[in-house]
Amino acid sequence: MKILVIGGTGNIGLPLIQYLNQQAGVTVVAGAHNVAKDQRQLADYPDVELRPFDFLNAETFRPALQDVEKVFFVRPPQLAKPKEDMLPFLTCLKDQHIKQVVFVSLMGVEHNPMTPHHQIEKMIVELGLPYTFIRPSFFMQNLNTTHREDIQQNHDLFIPAGRAKTSFIDTRDIGEIAGVVLLNDQYLQQKLTVTGPAALTYQEIAAQMTTIFGHPVTYSRPSLLKFRRVMLRRGLKKDYVNVMVMLMLYLITQLGNAKAVTTTAAEVLGRQPHDITTYLRDYIDELS
C-alpha cells in the first residue's frame, strides 16, 4: 500500500511517518512544499519518497498521487479559504479514486461552521470521498511552538483561555492514531474525537511546569484582544491570528467547549494517550 502524507515533517506528520515506516507492506510518499528542506528533516527515513506538492498548484497533484491509495493531510494554517485552496485538491482525489482520505480536523467542529475545518469536512462528504476525520482537542505541542517564547523568556503562559479546562492531546498520539486508521478499514466514514486523558486549566499546567522545570511559571490570562494585539505585534499574519483567536482556539476554550474528555484515543491506540506530565518531561529542553 502506498500512502501520501502531506505535512510529513510537522508535529503530526512526522510521528505518522515514524509509525507507518515500521509497518510491513506500506510505502510512504511525503508531499513536500520544499523538497530540499524536507529531505534534511526526513534524513532518518531513506525509504520515504519525497514528491513536490503544493495545495495552490494543481500541477503538483497528479504526480504526487501517482500509484497512491490513501492520503493523509492537515490544513496548513495560512490557507483559510477552503473553496479556493482545498477544493481543487479534493476534487482531484475523487478523480483519482483514492480509497481513503484522513483529515485532521478539530474537536467540536460540527458546532462551528465558520472554521475552515468544518468547510473542508463538508466538501469531503459532499464529494463522496471515503474519509476518516480525526477531531483532536488542543495540541500539547502548541506550548513548545506557538507559546514557547513566553514560556522560555517570561516563564509565563500568555494564553487567553480564562479559567476554562482543556483536554490537551499529544500530537505524537494523533500521528499514531492516523497510522492506525489508515491501515484499518473499520475506521472508514468515521469522525473520531480524540483527547488526552484529562482536562486541565492553564493554571494547573503552570503549576506542573513549576514543579517539573524547577522554577516558577505563571499564567497571566490575557484578554482575547490583548493576546491578538501582541501576536500581531510579533509579526503573525492577521488572518491566522483572527482564526486562532476568534473562530477556533481560545474563544472556544473560554466558552467551555474544549473540556470534553473521550476514550477514543485509548480505544484506537490500545493504550492510554500521553498525559501532560509526560509531555512536559519529554519537552523540558524546549520549554524551560
What's the pLDDT tens digit per position in 110-169?
888 878 899 999 999 999 999 999 999 999 999 999 899 999 999 999 988 888 899 999
Write phi, then psi, for 136 (nearest 5 degrees).
Answer: -85, 155
Angle, vertex CA 27, rays to CA 267 and CA 191, nearest 5: 30
pLDDT (0 to 100) of residue 80: 84
pLDDT for res 95: 97
Global pTM reads 0.94
Across the range 49-71, mean pLDDT stands at 98
Confidence check: pLDDT of 256 > 70: no
Q: What letter would DSSP give residue 99?
A: S
The predicted-structure confidence for 187-201, as pLDDT tens digits, reads as follows 999 999 999 999 999
Overall average pLDDT of the 222-240 stretch: 85
State the Cα–Cα distance between residues 70 and 100, nearest whole angstrom.
Answer: 5
pLDDT of 244 above 80: no
Range of lowest pLDDT (2-16, 85-99, 237-251): 237-251
Per-residue pLDDT, averaged over 202-221, amounts to 96
Lowest pLDDT segment from 152-161, 238-247, 278-287: 238-247
Rounding to the nearest 10 degrees, give the CA dihedral for residues 251, 255, 260, 265. -10
Find the range with the poorest average confidence among 6-15, 86-95, 123-132, 240-249. Answer: 240-249
Residue 258 has pLDDT above 90, yes or no: no
- How far is 266 from 237, CA to CA, in rounded Å? 36
Are the beta carbons of 273 and 170 closer than 8 angstroms?
yes
Mind giving me the DSSP string for 46-98? Answer: TTPEEEE--TT-GGGHHHHHTT--EEEEE--TT---HHHHTHHHHHHHHHTT-
Q: How does the average pLDDT of the chain come out, rounded?
A: 93
Partnered with residue 28 across adjacent β-strands are 3
Least confident stretch, 8-12, 176-180, 238-242: 238-242
Mean pLDDT throughout 264-269?
Answer: 98
